[in-house]
Amino acid sequence: MELRRLGSSPVQVTTLAFGGAVIGGLYDPVSDADAAAAVRRALDRGIRYFDTAPHYGAGRGERRLGTALTADCVVSTKVGRLLVPLQPGEPPEPEGFADPPPYRRAWDWTAEGILRSLSESLERLGTDRVDIVYLHDPDDHEAEVYESAYPALSALRDEGVVGAIGAGMNQTAMLTRFVERLDLDVVLCAGRYTLLDRSALDDLLPASARRGTSVVVGGVYNSGLLAGGTTYNYEPAPPELRTRVARLEEVCARHGVPLRAAALRFPLRHPAVASVLAGCRTPAEVDDNADLLELDIPEALWEEL
């Protein structure tokens, strides 16, 4: 599988990455066995970039990934949320994850919080190092990123503790400001550079290309609508978007290409994009995404799309 370098860092990632939210139980429960089998199958298919976060199943995603990884590969995790044990009688916080462990999430963007978050992630992953660390969803904490969180990550990179640093969000405006004002190797942007939403072309992708910052794209199916589902950005898709998807399917069908394959490959056509994330909860889903990425897609299809 093709490798692409993240900015000017030494870190190289495969163009298809394993998104670790679903093995943390995103929306539906996943067994330990299925999670491990999915990770092993991803390794078999040549995937060498695995992304996770403390938020994913309140640590469950990291633990499962660390247990299942058996080969040398690139791992990214995230900081900004600490996991705090629940007090007796305190209800769990699912936040979209099934059967959550007994922890609540607490925002902490101090230097001490960043270091603690990474240390606890390393323990859950069962390793002494990760290659990439992202600031995770700092939408309401921009000032704290500049004041404490980014300097802490930058110091970790300078010390060689991590190979690359960045930020991961579902919006482009703040990510663009980070790219322009900070020395980031990579940003992870979910859902804003897809066949249905190309808003990252307005700000983030041009800024990243100018600065030499790589982009990892998640949410290529916009939470399901581009993969045969009915949700768009985690809500029921409006009729006008379903009509657009039907038109996209017609175009793809004329060229003998599944819409899902075009949706998965589309972001990689931009020179700033290094990898696309796809969440997989079973070996079959891993094979499906890997097969889609390997399909030959004629240039005429892109022109018509």
Give the per-residue pLDDT at 70. 87
Q: pTM, whole model, 2 decimals?
A: 0.97
Any catalytic annotation for residue 56?
yes
Measured distance CA(262)–CA(296) in Å, rounded? 10
Write the CATH number for 147: 3.20.20.100
* Residues 6+ positions from 119 with CB-CB distance below 8 Å: none
- For the stretch 67-96, pLDDT in tens is 999 889 999 999 999 999 999 999 988 999
Give the per-residue pLDDT at 155. 98
What Cα–Cα distance (Å) separates residue 189 from each residue in 179, 280, 303?
12, 18, 24
Measured distance CA(120)–CA(277) in Å, rounded? 24
Give the per-residue pLDDT at 234. 85
Write down the catalytic residue from 27, 49, 56, 234: 56
Q: Which domain holds residue 30?
A: 3-304
Give the per-residue pLDDT at 132. 98
Query: In this structure, what DSSP letter does residue 219 have?
Result: -
Q: Which residues of 112-143 are buried (b: 16+ CB within 10 A; e: fewer)?
A: ebbbebbebbbebbeeeebbbbbbbbbeebee
Question: What's the domain count of the chain?
Answer: 1
| End-to-end CA gap in the chain | 25
CA 165 to chain centre: 14
- For the stretch 212-268, pLDDT in tens is 999 999 999 998 999 999 999 989 999 999 999 999 999 999 999 999 999 999 999
For the range 90-94, what are the long-range contacts, defined as Cβ-Cβ under 8 Å and sequence gap of 24 or more?
92/58, 93/58
For the chain, helix (H) and strand (E) counts, in that order, are: 11, 14
Measured distance CA(220)–CA(15) in Å, rounded? 13
Closest CA to 294 of 1, 57, 36: 1
Give the per-residue pLDDT at 244. 97
Positions in the chain short of pLDDT 50: none
Give the per-residue pLDDT at 71. 84
